[in-house]
Amino acid sequence: MTEMLRKKINAAIDAFSDERIRWFMGKSRHFIDSGIIDEKTLDGIVYKLILDEIERHLILREIENSGNLTVKELEKLTGMSAEKIREHIKVLVFLDEVSLVGEKEGEPSYALSPSMKEERRRCPCETVIKLLLKEAGVLTKAK
């Protein structure tokens, strides 16, 4: 398995462990039943939500593993465009998961917010999911 694929799988694990996706999925049947949205439109929204969450968790993992990073550095580490990373960074800053901490080579540098560091340290779900995937043979090596 390539390193980038491993990173994306781990980011997907993080995204599906996150309460934002679980909350939305739990409410989705209500949205359809109440006529707020049709199923086809909801499917498109869910797809976009899941993709965005996986990409945001990929960014969070890179910052967690490497420390303060710029958009250029994140671009190299994630393979995402700088524009897409900037969009995600805006959301992550708004959610207080990432903070602007200074500059590197004239570019803004971002780190995990202190509250996010504590949350990622406390949540055992990531480890449990990885162990289950390893047991199922999906991952050959747990990080």
Q: Is 48 within the bounds of a domain? A: yes
Q: Check residue 127 and give its pLDDT.
A: 45
Q: Is 140 within the bounds of a domain? A: no
Q: Is 107 within the bounds of a domain? A: yes
Q: Check residue 121 and give its pLDDT.
A: 44
Residue 55 and residue 26: Cα distance in Å, rounded?
Answer: 21
Q: Check residue 38 and give its pLDDT.
A: 83
Number of domains in the chain: 1
Q: Check residue 118 and give its pLDDT.
A: 56
Query: Which are the contacts of 94, defined by CB distance < 8 A and separation ≥ 6?
Result: none
Please give the C-alpha separations between residue 112 and each of 59, 97, 109, in angstroms, as whole numbers.
Answer: 10, 6, 11
Q: Check residue 1 and give its pLDDT.
A: 61
Query: Which are the contacts of 135, defined by CB distance < 8 A and separation ≥ 6?
Result: none
List the chain residues with pLDDT less than 70: 1, 116-143
CATH of the domain at 92: 1.10.10.10
Evaluate whether 60 touches 98 at the Cβ level (below 8 Å). yes
Q: Is 141 within the bounds of a domain? A: no
Q: Check residue 50 and give its pLDDT.
A: 86
Q: What is the pTM of this model?
A: 0.72
Q: Which residues pair with 100 in a beta bridge?
A: 110
